[in-house]
Structure 1
Amino acid sequence: MSMKECDHHKGRKRKMFQRVFWGIIVFLFIILLAILLIWAILRPTKPTFILLDATVYAFNASQPNFLTSNFQITLSSRNPNDHIGIYYDRLDTYITYRSQQITYRTSIPPSYQGHKEFDVWSPFVYGTNVPVAPFNFLTLSQDQSNGNLYVTVKIDGRVRWKVGTLITGHYHLYVHCPAFIALGNNRNGVYVGDNAVKLQLDQRCSVSV
């Protein structure tokens, strides 16, 4: 008699456990489905970036296979979403020439960008005696002599999306801004100091998240 009652209680506990387990699964599924539906309806759009200008303070490729440079760049960012905010948790900007990094990385302070908001950053991006590959240094020296330099301003970062009270995990942000820099006698910008020239660029950047 006691054995039958024990088996009966075990069966009831097993059924209760199964009900609780499947209840949790269904609840989590509903929550996940609601998040996906909200995400699909809102359709988050990646931010837009524009390279507004660049001020050239120094650019010296005279020492073989080494470059010293100093730029101040101005970047604008816009959140095009109506109901989604963006957390910029990390933004590192640097400059490349023919796919080779020629400056150090400069960090932009973390920030939050609300719906339809703009942000403007003006970091200094520089490098002292940065090694340049010999095959790149040859063309770099020629470009400096000709007064025409084509580089890419890049941003490497991590962002999160904010939908109401929901904040997503981190996403990797890549921004590429092509820039044509006039040097020497070809400078057509505004002089802002000794040998410093500010060049208006207004170059739209490519963004991937």
Structure 2
Amino acid sequence: MSEKIASLKVGCSNSKKLKWFAWGTGGLIVFIGLLVFVVFLVLHPSKPSFNLEDVTVYQFNVSKVPPYAINIIMQVTLSSRNPNSRIGVEYQPLHVYATYRDQQITMAYLLPPTYQGHKEPVVWSPPLTGYDMPISPYSQQSLDQDWHAGVVLMNIKLQGDVKWKVGTWISPKYHLYVHCPANIRFGDLSNGGPNLIKGQPVDHCDVEIAS
């Protein structure tokens, strides 16, 4: 009988030790997570900067009769730099596309997930195409005037999700919005449309990050 009682006491003791070990391990993990989160808040990450490095238009045509539509083939080069010295940036799949007067004129190109280390630059060069992309009559008139004037202001937009990374801790998702204006100078249109045109970035890209 005494042996059974002793065995039960040992079993209870081991069970308590396992519970305390589990609680201690869980508490340590929570503490480390909170510590990293506090460090993240103290470091206060700065949003990455973006630049539109190059815009090349290979084909650009606008229909003259309803329904109005655009056919365009172009390639853009976007660069990003992480200004943080201790925080990494994880870009989830990002979508890049071109707009004219807030109307999308190319299909969205999906950029793959990318990790950007401390003070590290990243460069993307996605092709952007649009076939029979519909536009409003008002946009068609404005585009026709701009086109024959030789300069069309387009906007290259990038949208997606980002996460911050400090050590092994990764933040929740934040929404990234990037807006890069560019002047497309067509010059001589006597042949009906440009063959290859280089665009000129107007200003730095606007970057917004929202929760």
Instruction: For residue 200 of structure 1, report the CA deviation from its aligned partner.
Output: 4.6
Cα deviation, residue 29, structure 1: 8.0
> Contact 1:61–1:144 (CA<8 Å) still a contact in 2?
no
Equivalent residue, structure 2, for 1:204: 204
Q: Partners of 2:70 and 2:181 in 1: how far apart?
A: 19
Consecutive unaligned residues of structure 1, counting only runs of 5 or more, are 1-19, 187-193
For 1:129 and 1:110, the matched residues in 2 are separated by 29
User: What is residue 17 of structure 1 aligned with on the other side?
Assistant: none
State the secondary structure of the residue aligned to 1:184: coil
How far does the alpha carbon of each residue in 1:6-65 deviate from its partner, in whole angstroms, 9 at most, with x for none?
Answer: xxxxxxxxxxxxxx9xx99xx598566534421222111110000011001011113431
The residue identity in structure 2 corresponding to 1:204 is H
Percent identity, please.
Answer: 45
Cα separation, 1, equivalents of 2:82 and 2:35: 24
In structure 2, the CA distance between the partners of 1:100 and 1:122, relative to structure 1 (3 Å rule), is same
Q: How does 1:51-200 map to 2 (within 5 A)?
A: 51-64=52-65, 65-185=68-188, 195-200=195-200
SS in 1 for 2:83: coil
Runs of 4+ aligned residues of structure 1 deviating over 4 Å after TM superposition are 27-33
Counterpart code for 1:179 = A
Cα separation, 1, equivalents of 2:178 and 2:69? 26
Number of matched pairs: 181
Farther off after superposition, 60-69 or 90-99? 60-69
The one-letter code matched in structure 1 to 2:206 is S
Residue matched to 1:37: 38
1:189 corresponds to which residue? none
Q: TM-score, normalised by structure 1?
A: 0.78
Give RMSD over aligned pairs. Answer: 2.4
The TM-score normalised by the length of structure 2 is 0.77
CA distance in 1 between partners of 2:92 and 2:72 (Å): 27
CA deviation string 1:133-162 (max 9, x = no partner): 111111111111111101111001111111
Gaps of 5+ in 2: 1-19
Is the Cα contact below 8 Å between 1:58 and 1:69 reproduced in 2? yes
- Over 3 Å counting, the alpha-carbon distance change for 1:202 and 1:120 in structure 2 is farther
Query: Does the Cα contact within 8 Å between 1:77 and 1:120 map onto a contact in 2?
Result: yes
Verify the 8 A CA contact 2:151 2:185 in the aligned structure 1. Answer: yes
